[in-house]
Amino acid sequence: LAGRPTAGPWDGLRVLVTAGGTREPIDSVRYVGNRSSGRMGFALADAAAARGAAVTVVAANVTLPRNPAVRYLDVETAAQLADACAGAFAQTDVLLMAAAVADFRPVGPADHKIKKTGRGELTVEMEATVDVLASLSGTRRDGQVLVGFAAEHGDGALAYGRDKLERKGLDAIVVNDISRPDIGFDTPENEVTVITRTGDQPIAKADKAAVADAILAVVDRLRDAAVRT
Ligand code: CTP
Ligand code: CA
């Protein structure tokens, strides 16, 4: 087709990426959010599209420039992200779950703006959201590759990551250390370790496009291993 990239190594592969950070409403104007910019997720989507894959990004509150070769589904909340992913997952070969998904959301958000007059404090009750990645993993079929992402603080980061790999039934988890101000949230560079069932692979500090390429190289290895077994 006109405008389509020519043959690439990921031609015919369907890739689902989640990116950004969810926002859970407190009232009609306020939300509980997080610092994820969506840069890592968008870099992964660009790298997969450059390899010829058909890429869908579920984008949670991302304001970055968009790639005309990628399909974007915009969401705000964890529940909307869960719905969008559930709709696409059966037709997905590679899932790259880079979004920062809220673990808790306010119970019964107000449909109006909460006023400060007459109150000295405000308590917001929160309830757990669904773990999107764990529930998708529960419906996975042979041949799908599932990659999680974990932002962890300093010591123990890799152990926490390995635990999530097991608990969520993943093929790989990309761990970054958010105690370091020079990488991670809202920065152009990243430095990560990709944990798989056959070992850990450190990826040196680089711009997020280069880190995305290195992560996709790990996905290639996982896909080769899955075909052989
Ligand atoms: N994740 C998800 N749904 C959630 C929370 C997390 O799909 N409700 C996904 C993230 O997108 C990420 C992976 O699970 O790919 C790990 O997220 P993380 O926040 O590190 O792990 P949690 O299991 O939420 O544990 P905690 O925040 O307590 O460390
Ligand atoms: Ca979490």
Instruction: Please say if 34 is a catalytic residue.
Output: yes
Q: What is the pLDDT of residue 7?
A: 79
Annotated catalytic residue, options 34, 61, 176, 190:
34
Note the ligand closest to the C-alpha atom of 165: 1
149 is in an annotated binding site: yes
Q: What is the pLDDT of residues 34-50, one digit of tens each?
A: 999 999 999 999 999 99
| Site to substitute for ligand 1 among 22, 132, 158, most atoms within 8 A of C-beta | 132
- According to DSSP, residue 57 is labeled E
Q: pLDDT tens digits, residue range 51-103? A: 999 999 999 999 999 999 999 999 999 999 999 999 999 999 999 999 999 99
Atom in ligand 1 nearest the alpha carbon of residue 148 = 15
**Span 115-164, pLDDT tens digits:** 999 999 999 999 999 999 999 999 999 999 999 999 999 889 999 999 99
* d(CA 4, ligand 1 centre) in Å: 34
Tracing tokens 């077994």 back to the chain, one arrives at 229
178 burial level (CB within 10 Å; 0-12, 13-18, 19+): middle
Contact 19, 60 (CB under 8 A): yes
Q: Do 159 and 150 form a contact (C-beta atoms < 8 A)? A: no
- The ipTM, to two decimals, is 0.99
Residue 168 alpha carbon to ligand 1 centre in Å = 9
* 62: number of Cβ within 10 Å: 22
> What pLDDT score does 5 carry?
53
> Would the annotation count 116 as a binding residue?
no
At 1 the pLDDT is: 57
Provide the residues around ligand 2 (an ion) whose CB is within 5 A.
103
Structural contact between residues 8 and 50, judged by C-beta atoms closer than 8 angstroms: yes
pTM above 0.90, yes or no: yes
Query: Which ligand approaches the C-alpha of residue 164 most closely?
Result: 1
Q: Which band of pLDDT confidence, cut at 50, 70 and 90, is reported for residue 184?
A: confident
- Please tell me the distance from the alpha carbon of residue 60 to that of residue 79, in angstroms, as a whole number: 11
120 or 226: which carries more pLDDT confidence? 120
Predicted pLDDT of residue 185? 78
